[in-house]
Amino acid sequence: MRRIKVFDTTLRDGEQSPGCSMNLSEKLQMARQLDALGVDVIEAGFAIASPEDFRSVEAISKTVQNCKVASLARCTQGDIDAAWNAVKCAKYPRIHVFLATSDIHMEYKLKMTREQVLESIAKHVAYAKSLCDDVEFSAEDASRSDWAFLSQCYAAAIKAGATVLNVPDTVGYSTPQEMFDLITYLRTNTEGIENVDISAHCHDDLGMAVANSLACLRAGATQVECTVNGIGERAGNASLEEIVMALKTRREYFQMETGVNTQQIYKTSKLLSSITGVPISPSKSIVGANAFAHESGIHQHGVIANSLTYEIMKPSDIGLPQNSMVLGKHSGKHALRDRLSQLGYEVSKEDLDEIFVRFKALADKKKTLTDHDIEALALSRARTVAETYELISHVVSTGKDITNIACVKIKKNDEVFEEVAIGSGPVDAAFKAVDRITGLDVALENFSLNAVTDGEDAMGEAVVKIRFGDEIYTGCGLSTDVIESAIRAYINGINKIVGSK
């Protein structure tokens, strides 16, 4: 079995996708989970991008214990210095340098000749190497580059000290056969390539990122770059869970393995969705709600007789529990802790106390609580921020051809404030009442509501994106009352604004 290294760029390329930005505490939480997942490399960010990016890369470097931590840098000394200063405290640091090599990028973006690009690669990879032993070089838009010139670029990077060569399909243009042929060509025609790792970084613009990545691995690549849930620029990146489970499920075919603890996949996927507020499609491979669901009578009959008839993977392989424990209002804290543990959530006594309070409140509204309910409560706790403002109660008056009015009562520290507002709908009225209490000039950019559990008494998760100044903040709220979940989401976003000041 060939050991494939997994390079996770959820916190860099993934976080760059619209709607997926994370604050420092959320990035640290995600980095710890990626460490537990067992990826080989975490690309923590683009250190030069902003002071906040630098701080987050540095904090992740100090936190992660088991995997390498990389920071991206353009071929400029300033970028490389920032990357090194951010990752130098990591147990296993890496500088990831990139420069475009396709004719279209060199002519229109870089305004550089081929000779200038070769010179820049040699110079800046050598500089990065003088700071850090582990240097990865990426030829941006490699899949649309001239192969002979691309080989020259990689040879220059190897000579300058690169330990990893990344071959990106930056715009998701290639097909599996083309990527297979490109890796094969580079392995045959690049001097010194046998001494370094070859990496693949494929985007999903044509829906072939995972297939292209697997083709690269079959052609001899030793590292694959991917993101949790496939998030990333434009249509996203190759999905980590799909690649890892393809290699595991079709182990005899690929003859490859990774060091990923697959039983942490489901938890990692749900955590990212909870942090970003971006829901997972029910039909998403591996981690979607329907991935292990069977409704057809024919399918149900087959699965009951033998699960292998319609399931090529065990739910337990990705950390998804198979059995359901019924919990309700008569259940105690010990039963709740046991169920959380079975679902893969180890919580502190303080967190358990808080989850238990909301568990009891929810149990009063629902006859029985499912695993999805318990999981939603745990994830809701995972994404909380310091509660400067706390919802106490709300009352709304709404209906056809009547004025929509909301009365909201909020606690700030030990003071309770109450305001009434009129809006175009009950949610709008409630948000305006909250604005009157906080006094913040906040603009609502986006609002969505999803049922995160099953049945007519399902819990609704509201996600808001609010603008304050030049920044966008994401807020999430959870309740069986959709108006309440909307208000909680709005207040959660406002608490993030207050916490960032």
Note the pLDDT tens digit of each residue in 401-458. 899 999 999 999 889 999 999 999 999 999 999 999 999 999 999 998 887 666 666 7
pLDDT at 382: 55
Among the listed ranges 228-237, 254-263, 344-353, 378-387, which one has the minimum average pLDDT value?
A: 378-387
CA distances (Å), origin 121, targets 41, 115, 190, 201, 299: 23, 10, 15, 19, 55
Q: Which residues pair with 237 in a beta bridge?
A: 203
CA dihedral 55, 61, 63, 64 (to 10 degrees): 140
- Closest C-alpha to 490, from 416, 417, 421, 410: 410
Tell whether the model's pLDDT for residue 332 goes beyond 70.
yes
Among the listed ranges 12-21, 99-108, 359-368, 480-489, which one has the minimum average pLDDT value?
A: 359-368
Question: Please, which pLDDT band fits residue 14 given cuts at 50, 70 and 90?
Answer: very high
Among the listed ranges 91-105, 150-164, 366-380, which one has the minimum average pLDDT value?
A: 366-380
| Alpha-helix runs per DSSP H in 364-469 | 371-382, 426-438
Question: Please, which pLDDT band fits residue 65 given cuts at 50, 70 and 90?
Answer: very high
Q: Within 10 A of 469 (CB to CB), how many other CB atoms are there?
A: 9
Tell whether the model's pLDDT for residue 271 goes beyond 50.
yes
2-3 and 197-202 strand pairing: unpaired
- What contacts 253, CB < 8 A, 6 or more positions away? none
What is the domain partition of the chain in residue ranges? 2-276, 321-382, 389-500
| Alpha-helix runs per DSSP H in 163-307 | 176-189, 209-218, 240-249, 251-254, 265-276, 297-305
The answer to whether 233 and 287 are in contact (CB under 8 A) is: no
pLDDT at 363: 80
Q: What is the mean pLDDT of the chain?
A: 90
pLDDT at 298: 55
pLDDT at 69: 98
Structure-model confidence comparison of residues 385 and 357, the more confident one = 357
Which of 186-190, 361-365, 378-382 ranks highest by mean pLDDT? 186-190
Look up the CATH number of domain 2-276: 3.20.20.70
Tell whether the model's pLDDT for residue 347 goes beyond 80.
yes
Tell whether the model's pLDDT for residue 38 goes beyond 70.
yes
pLDDT at 327: 66
pLDDT at 383: 52
CA 186 to chain centre: 31
Tell me the whole-structure pTM to 2 decimals: 0.77
pLDDT at 296: 47
pLDDT at 169: 98
Note the pLDDT tens digit of each residue in 288-310. 877 776 544 455 456 556 666 76
pLDDT at 441: 92
Which CATH fold would you assign to the domain 389-500?
Answer: Double Stranded RNA Binding Domain (3.30.160)
pLDDT at 325: 44
pLDDT at 477: 86
pLDDT at 450: 81
Question: Please, which pLDDT band fits residue 323 given cuts at 50, 70 and 90?
Answer: very low
- What contacts 133, CB < 8 A, 6 or more positions away? 163
Note the pLDDT tens digit of each residue in 210-237. 999 999 999 999 999 999 999 999 999 9
Q: How are strands ordered across the β-sheet holding 460-468? A: 443-451, 460-468, 471-479
pLDDT at 295: 42
Structure-model confidence comparison of residues 472 and 139, the more confident one = 139
242-246 long-range Cβ contacts below 8 angstroms, 24+ apart: 242/210, 242/285, 242/286, 243/6, 243/210, 243/213, 243/214, 244/6, 245/286, 245/313, 245/317, 245/318, 246/210, 246/214
Question: Please, which pLDDT band fits residue 322 given cuts at 50, 70 and 90?
Answer: low
Whole-number percent of the chain with pLDDT over 90 = 68
